[in-house]
């Protein structure tokens, strides 16, 4: 199964269409789930309060960012859907997702930024549309 699950689709609601296209394309190459897309200002404030984020200027608030998690599924039990499995946080897996997202973004001509490339507060699961092209 190399496509997004219904729950991933639900989590992409409100996310910019171009970023969704990149996610869909990358998902053909690497297995991941969508953990978050659009985020309320209230939730962002809570994340900043607990130290999980450092900014109230998050691209999640405007639908310009997604968080992805590597998904090690349990295989297809015959119904064509793989909804059982586990999220893995091992760093090398995020290098794989980062490479797949960058390749998909290049193919589609959609400039993105990967949180894994940030010098401080490296954020492997995080991808956002480049502010220069998508203010």
Q: Which residues contact Zn ion (rule: CB under 5 A)?
A: 67, 126
Nearest approach, Cβ of 60 to Zn ion (angstroms)? 6
Residue facing Zn ion at closest CB distance: 126
Phi and psi at residue 127, to the nearest 5°? -135, 140
Distances, alpha carbon 117 to alpha carbons 59, 99, 111, 114, 120, in Å: 16, 11, 14, 6, 9
Query: Based on CB atoms, which residue is closest to Zn ion, 46 or 74?
Result: 46
Length of the chain: 135
CA 95 to CA 70: how far, in whole Å? Answer: 10
Query: Based on CB atoms, which residue is closest to Zn ion, 64 or 126?
Result: 126
Query: Based on CB atoms, which residue is closest to Zn ion, 2 or 91?
Result: 91
Nearest approach, Cβ of 88 to Zn ion (angstroms)? 17
CA 76 to CA 83: how far, in whole Å? Answer: 9
Nearest approach, Cβ of 58 to Zn ion (angstroms)? 7
């Amino acid at each position: 199964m190399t496509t997004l699950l219904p729950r991933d689709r639900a989590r992409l609601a409100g996310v910019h269409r171009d970023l969704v296209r990149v996610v869909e394309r990358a998902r053909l190459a690497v297995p991941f789930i969508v953990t978050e897309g659009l985020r309320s200002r209230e939730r962002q404030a809570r994340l900043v309060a607990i130290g999980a984020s450092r900014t109230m200027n998050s691209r999640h608030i405007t639908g310009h960012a997604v968080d992805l998690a590597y998904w090690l599924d349990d295989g297809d039990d015959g119904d064509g859907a793989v909804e059982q499995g586990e999220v893995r946080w091992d760093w090398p897996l995020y290098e794989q997702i980062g490479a797949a997202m960058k390749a998909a973004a290049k193919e589609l001509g959609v400039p993105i930024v990967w949180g894994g490339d940030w010098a401080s507060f490296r954020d492997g699961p995080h991808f956002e549309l480049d502010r220069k092209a998508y203010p």
